[in-house]
């Protein structure tokens, strides 16, 4: 039975879960709070790192008087697991500790769990409630839910455009459009997504590093589409400094930190299809990459927008004017989800609902 303060405890669990961002992946973000018989928090924890103890393990272990667990209520943001992965099932731990009640924010869509954890708890006589602050939980773990439900990575499209609607100079001439605060925020975003993608011309003309150099956190897997392996060996994407995947029509042997993926885009004897993206997304799903920050160029961005294959769009609009150049994507959307100032730029955010 839910009580008046229960939303407060679940919000605390959600706040804890955020602390694992970037480090828990590909596992979801999970927080857990243990509330004692007098309504005070006895322990709390979150999933800190992939392969490490889950949130429930950390929270239960933090309770000083373990005997109180038999009189406590446990708030957890995602259904406790019921399978052996990197760690034992959390459902079994809750049962072993004698916890009488568990309140869950979201059911787990992962087929390895998918209701089995809740069923195991109920079969042991534990009172289980679900759905408390469910929308907030889905927002927190939107990458995980997209990956499980849509069978592709969560796609965040990002670009910077001038006040007159250009994202590069004539002939893809590289131009610094966004200000320093926007660039810093972009580096933070790179640590929050599992991978970062650019198309062929962006890789060729900009020679990007696609790394998070200005913000602490894990580096994303670098992705690019290089149909005919035109990138020169001197380009940063081929330097082996971080994990990189090149999607191509051609075969080439892998190198340290550099994987070449030649996908069968057309029947034997037929010309290669220009529509690479569905095959790329299928391959990324198979590799367990749950989210991708797509930073260009216009061909990739427009293809994803036109096929409605995106989840979030973030656009920095600069006060600068270029007068001519490569046009930024045009969004046929009724309005933005949010707008905020980031330094000299305006950030417009869109959600595909």
pLDDT tens track for 259-286: 999 976 555 555 545 568 999 999 999 9
CATH number assigned to the domain comprising residue 258:
3.40.430.10
Domain endpoint, select from 79, 111, 146:
146
Render the burial of 21-60: b for 16+ CB within 10 Å, e for the rest: ebbbbebbbbbbbbbbeeeebbbbbbbeeeeebbbbbbbb
pLDDT tens track for 160-176: 999 999 998 998 888 89
Task: Report whether 82 contacts 113 (CB < 8 A).
Answer: yes
pLDDT tens track for 99-132: 999 999 999 998 878 889 999 999 999 999 999 9
Domain endpoint, select from 146, 171, 197:
146
Domain assignment present for 1: no
- Asked if 73 and 217 sit in the same domain, the reply is no
Domain assignment present for 307: yes
* Proportion of the chain above pLDDT 90, given as a percent: 80
Domain assignment present for 303: yes
- Asked if 36 and 97 sit in the same domain, the reply is yes
Task: Report whether 54 contacts 70 (CB < 8 A).
Answer: no
- Asked if 105 and 157 sit in the same domain, the reply is no
User: Active-site positions?
Assistant: 56
């Amino acid at each position: 039975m839910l009580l008046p303060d229960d939303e407060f405890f679940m919000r605390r669990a959600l706040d804890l879960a955020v602390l694992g961002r970037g480090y828990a992946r590909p596992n979801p973000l999970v927080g857990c709070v243990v509330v004692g018989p007098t309504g005070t928090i006895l322990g709390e924890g979150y999933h800190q790192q992939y392969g490490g103890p889950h949130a429930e393990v950390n929270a239960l272990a933090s309770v000083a008087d373990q005997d109180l667990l038999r009189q406590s209520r446990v708030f957890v943001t995602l259904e406790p697991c019921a399978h052996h992965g990197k760690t034992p099932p959390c459902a079994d731990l809750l049962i072993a500790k004698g916890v009488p009640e568990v309140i869950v924010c979201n059911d787990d869509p992962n087929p390895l769990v998918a209701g089995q954890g809740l069923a195991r708890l109920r079969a042991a006589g534990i009172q289980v409630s679900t759905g408390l602050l469910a929308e907030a939980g889905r927002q927190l773990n939107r990458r995980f839910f997209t990956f499980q439900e849509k069978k592709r990575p969560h796609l965040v499209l990002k670009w910077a455009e001038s006040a007159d609607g250009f994202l590069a100079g004539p002939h893809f001439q590289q131009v610094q459009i966004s200000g320093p605060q926007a660039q810093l925020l972009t580096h933070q975003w790179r640590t929050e997504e599992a991978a970062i993608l650019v198309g062929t011309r962006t890789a060729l003309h900009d020679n990007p590093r696609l790394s998070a150099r200005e913000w602490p956190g894990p580096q994303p897997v670098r992705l690019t589409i290089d149909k005919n392996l035109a990138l020169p060996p001197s380009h940063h994407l081929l330097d082996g400094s971080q994990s990189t995947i090149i999607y191509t029509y051609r075969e080439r042997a892998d190198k340290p930190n550099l994987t070449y993926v030649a996908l069968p885009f057309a029947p034997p004897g037929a010309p290669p299809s220009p529509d690479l993206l569905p095959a790329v997304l299928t391959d990324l799903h198979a590799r367990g990459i749950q989210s991708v920050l797509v930073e260009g160029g216009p061909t990739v961005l427009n293809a994803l927008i036109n096929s409605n294959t995106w989840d979030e769009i973030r656009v920095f609009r600069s006060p600068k004017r270029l007068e001519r150049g490569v046009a930024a994507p045009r969004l046929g959307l009724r309005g933005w989800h949010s707008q905020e100032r980031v330094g000299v730029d305006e950030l417009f955010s869109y959600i595909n609902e």
